[in-house]
Structure formats: C-alpha cells, structure tokens
Amino acid sequence: MLDLKFIRENLEFVKGKLSRRNQRVDLDQLVEMDRKRREVIQEVEALRNERNIVSEKIATLKQQSKDAAIEIDRMKLVSQKIKDIDINRAGIEENVQDFLLRIPNIPHESVVAGEDEGDNIEIKRWGEPPEFNFNPQAHWTIGEELGILDFERGAKIAGARFTLLRGAGALMERALINFMLDLHTREHHYEETFPPFLVNRISMTGTGQLPKFEEDLFRIVDSEYFLIPTAEVPVTNIHQNETIDEKSLPIYYTAYTPCFRKEAGSHGRDTRGIIHQHQFDKVELVKFTAPGTSYQELESLLENAEEVLKRLNLHYRVVSLCTGDLGFSAAKTYDIEVWLPSQGRYKEISSCSNFEDFQARRANIRYRPTSKAKARFVHTLNGSGLAIGRTMVAILENYQQEDGSVFVPEVLQPYMGGMEKIETPAS
C-alpha cells in the first residue's frame, strides 16, 4: 500500500511511476475522494468539539442542581447530526482504503521500463548447460519411467495438477527440503520457522494477495481461512502489528511450507509434469530490514538462493524483472531461472523481491530507530530458496543418463541415505 499523504503531495510523480506498470489506476478519483474525506472530517470534528464543551457545561450545571434541559435538547440534535455525518465518513474512508489496497507498488528506480517478460534484463549466468550425446527427456517421462512421479494416481486422488511422489521421488523431495533448510539456517543465519498453512483474511491482505487476487487462492468453505500460496504470507505476518527494536534488525526467517495455488490464469500452460501444480513445496526466505539497507539485503538474499543451485551444480541465469512484469507488491524483483535441457530454455525457480514498505504499511510492521525518533515502517523482502518441485525437475533433467537413470547430486546424497543414483525398478 502506498502512503495516501505521499500520493496527495506527489501526484504527478506517482502517476508517472505507475503508468509503467501494466495496470491502470485512476488516481484523480482517489484524490477527489480524499478531498471529500478531509472535508467531512473537519465538519464532524467541529461538531464533536462543540458537544464535548457543552457536555462539560451540562455536568457543571447538574452539579449545581441547575436546569440543563435546553442544552441537552440542543445536544440531542448535534449528536444525531454527528451520527449521520459519521456514517457518510465511514463510507468514504472505506472506499479510500479499498482503493489504496488495490494500487500496486512503485517500481524502484533501477527497474527498467518494459511491457512483459520479454523486456526483462539478464543480469548473469552461472555454470554451463550439460551436454548430452542422446536426446534429453522431459522430467515427466524420466519420472514416470523411474516410478517416482505418478501423475495418474495424483489425478485420481485429487485431480489435475496434483502428483503423487513415491519411493526415491518422495525421498528426494524430503532431502531437498532438509538440504535447503540446513544451508539457510547453518550457513546463511536464517531462523527456521514452521508457520500455519492456513491464514486469515487480514494476513492475506497484509502481504498483498487480497483484496485483488482472491481468485488465485484456495479458500476453506464456511470459514475465513485461506490456504497459503507461499510461506511469504504467514512468515511476513509474524510481525504484523508490531514495532521492532532497530537493534534486532535485520531479521532473517526461513520456512518450509507447502503452497497452494488455483493457477486460475494458467489453463493450458505446462499441463504436463510438475511445473505448475495446485500444491507444491517451497523453502522460503524472508527478511525484515531498515529502509536504508534493504537493497543490499536483496542482493544477499539473491545470493543465498543462488547458492542452492550452485551446490546442486545446476546451470542458471538471473534476470531483473521490468516494470511490466513486476508483481503487484514488489518494488524490485530478481528471478532465478534454471536450465531445463528438455525444453532448451530457462525456467523460473526462484523469485526474490524487495517490497520496501508496501507490505509493512498494510501489515503495520514498524521499527523504532535507536535515535528514539518515531516509529517507521520496515522494509520486507522475500525469495524462494528454492521451489522444491522445480528443483526436482531440474535435477531429473540435468542429471539424467541415457539408460533412464538419474544421478543424485552429491550434496543430496547424505540426505538420501547415501543413494547415488535413481534407477528403474526393473534394472
């Protein structure tokens, strides 16, 4: 959420910044509502002031056993008027608030203007794509052959975009989770957390999923619980409505959670395999920082996520999203894209963003500077470190052998009971 006062005082600047996003916002309408809002506030507060003064007078009169009937009658009318105006004011303020919650964040100055992902800027590449002297298979073929990805059973149990992992597949899922959590907690100094997987509407609004993107979320019938689409939601909301001591910043959290997404807009995209699932596992990284350091913290967050791919020895590149491709809440985002041999292209496996104070204002997460100035909003950041399912896709495809077996990356072997290779049950 943007600061209403900032919009009011920097209208042309904000308009210019938002025009580079692929979303249209009529700020003039907001400014007019805000003008009306302040007008009504002045009106009702003047009446309240009068009522307070006269009520005190009534109290005095009564103490002196004098008659206050005239004042009381007059205040009855004033109170009724206050009530009427208040209803109007509440309506206006709700409209203003709702409007504000639907305005996307302002892109950081370093974010390049562009239309869509085609305009994203490649920042770097790491490693080399593996070379095959045979035709590399897609992960769904490899996984089915090995008996570790069971798409038919997944669909039978739940439906499309659900997959049953079994045997070494299920084991690798668990191994990847543990490997990533161990790396981030032991070497990158994130605190491990294990949050609720269902959250309320307030938390979803705090991080920006609501009110605008409800159709992307799974919701529990007959209650106000939503299944989390990412650990970002419960973990960022850990400090909802809190004021943090500056001394304890920056705060680093990591969490493994399953993620649930309706994928409403992606019908027909990646229908095969486990690239787009309604349920997938992810290890997430979340940071709370002071405003001055958030961009250097974004760089180190990105490095922490990259480290996972480096240790798995998977070729990847990093792109900086352009204004048109930027998510609703983000001021700046780096995507890490891993190489998929079967597709001959890079596929997003992590998204690392700085939200600046956009989420903090919504979720009311502040910090008190040591200089005892007044509390300010923190900056929040998060990134996948990494998406587990897509990491498995990358491993299956990049480590595949001609005979259909798949080597287990060295760093994962201790997490898989020393297993070095996944082979077909028959062999």
User: Which residues contact RNA by CB under 7 A?
Assistant: 4-5, 38, 41-42, 45-46, 48-49, 51-56, 58-59, 62, 72, 75-76, 78-79, 83, 90, 372, 374-375
Choice between 76 and 272, CB closer to RNA:
76
Choice between 193 and 313, CB closer to RNA:
193
Q: Tell me if the bond preceding 196 is cis, omega within 30° of 0.
A: no
Give the chain's end-to-end CA distance (angstroms, integer).
57
Spatial separation of the C-alpha atoms in residues 160 and 393, rounded to whole Å? 18
User: Are 188 and 297 contacting, i.e. CB atoms less than 8 angstroms apart?
Assistant: no
* CB-based contacts of 324, cutoff 8 Å, min separation 6: 20, 21, 22, 113, 114, 115, 116, 119
Output DSSP code: residue 108.
Answer: P
In the complex, least distance from residue 331 CB atom to RNA, rounded to whole angstroms: 20
Which residues does residue 149 pair with via DSSP β-bridges, in sequence order?
165
User: Are 389 and 280 contacting, i.e. CB atoms less than 8 angstroms apart?
Assistant: yes
In the complex, least distance from residue 106 CB atom to RNA, rounded to whole angstroms: 18
User: Are 419 and 408 contacting, i.e. CB atoms less than 8 angstroms apart?
Assistant: yes
In the complex, least distance from residue 140 CB atom to RNA, rounded to whole angstroms: 35
In the complex, least distance from residue 204 CB atom to RNA, rounded to whole angstroms: 16
Spatial separation of the C-alpha atoms in residues 367 and 364, rounded to whole Å? 10
Choice between 11 and 58, CB closer to RNA:
58
Q: What is the DSSP string of 211-236?
A: TTTGGGS-B-TTSS-EE-SSTHHHHH
In the complex, least distance from residue 42 CB atom to RNA, rounded to whole angstroms: 4
Best CA proximity match to 367, nearest among 382, 377, 379 = 377
Structure tokens, 63: 């103490």
In the complex, least distance from residue 332 CB atom to RNA, rounded to whole angstroms: 25
Output DSSP code: residue 109.
Answer: T
Rounded to 5 degrees, φ, ψ at 359 are -75, -40
Choice between 365 and 393, CB closer to RNA:
365
Choice between 78 and 155, CB closer to RNA:
78
In the complex, least distance from residue 136 CB atom to RNA, rounded to whole angstroms: 44
Choice between 72 and 411, CB closer to RNA:
72
In the complex, least distance from residue 38 CB atom to RNA, rounded to whole angstroms: 4
In the complex, least distance from residue 80 CB atom to RNA, rounded to whole angstroms: 9
* CB-based contacts of 26, cutoff 8 Å, min separation 6: none
Choice between 4 and 106, CB closer to RNA:
4
Choice between 51 and 311, CB closer to RNA:
51
Spatial separation of the C-alpha atoms in residues 275 and 393, rounded to whole Å? 8
Choice between 77 and 426, CB closer to RNA:
77
In the complex, least distance from residue 52 CB atom to RNA, rounded to whole angstroms: 4
User: Are 334 and 352 contacting, i.e. CB atoms less than 8 angstroms apart?
Assistant: yes
Helix count (H) and strand count (E) of the chain?
A: 12, 17
Spatial separation of the C-alpha atoms in residues 49 and 54, rounded to whole Å? 9
Spatial separation of the C-alpha atoms in residues 57 and 16, rounded to whole Å? 53
Choice between 69 and 426, CB closer to RNA:
69
Choice between 78 and 411, CB closer to RNA:
78
Host H or E run for residue 252: strand 251-260
